[in-house]
Amino acid sequence: MKRFLIVSTLALTLGSAAAQAKPAAAYVGQNLAKTAKITLAQATKSALTARPGKITDTELEKEAGGSGLRYSFDITQAGVAYEVGIDAQTGKVLENAAEGKNPD
């Protein structure tokens, strides 16, 4: 009974702390999403169409090229890491290259 009480108290304490913690952003740059015409879901679909694979990182960032606001996806395909950039205003693929290489 004593063990149950200790475990229950610990679970309640941890659950309470987790509920009070500020939730992390779903992706880096999420605060810029309100200025994008293209949603994350639309950009994700475009990125995976351009480079099928597994998305390992997602960002929305201000960067030169296109409209200046882009979704950037790190996508792993057959063990190779690629960066795919999608313009957040037009949906155009701005970059689709292996990490550290020039765009296709």
CATH for 32? 3.10.450.40
Sign for the pseudo-dihedral over CA of 31, 35, 36, 41: positive
Q: Residue 102's pLDDT is what?
A: 55
Domain containing residue 75: 26-98
Residue 9 domain-assigned (yes or no):
no
- Per the listing, tokens 């694979």 go with 53
- pLDDT tens, residue by residue, 28-79: 888 888 999 999 999 999 999 999 999 999 999 998 888 899 999 999 999 9
Answer yes or no: pTM beyond 0.75: no
Determine contact, residues 79/61, Cβ cutoff 8 Å: no
- Tell me how many domains the chain contains: 1
Determine contact, residues 51/67, Cβ cutoff 8 Å: no
Q: Residues of the chain with pLDDT > 70: what percent? A: 71
Of 99 and 44, the one with more pLDDT: 44
Residue 84 domain-assigned (yes or no):
yes
54, 55, 57, 63 alpha-carbon torsion, rounded to 10°: 130
Determine contact, residues 37/28, Cβ cutoff 8 Å: no
Q: 5 pLDDT exceeds 60?
A: no
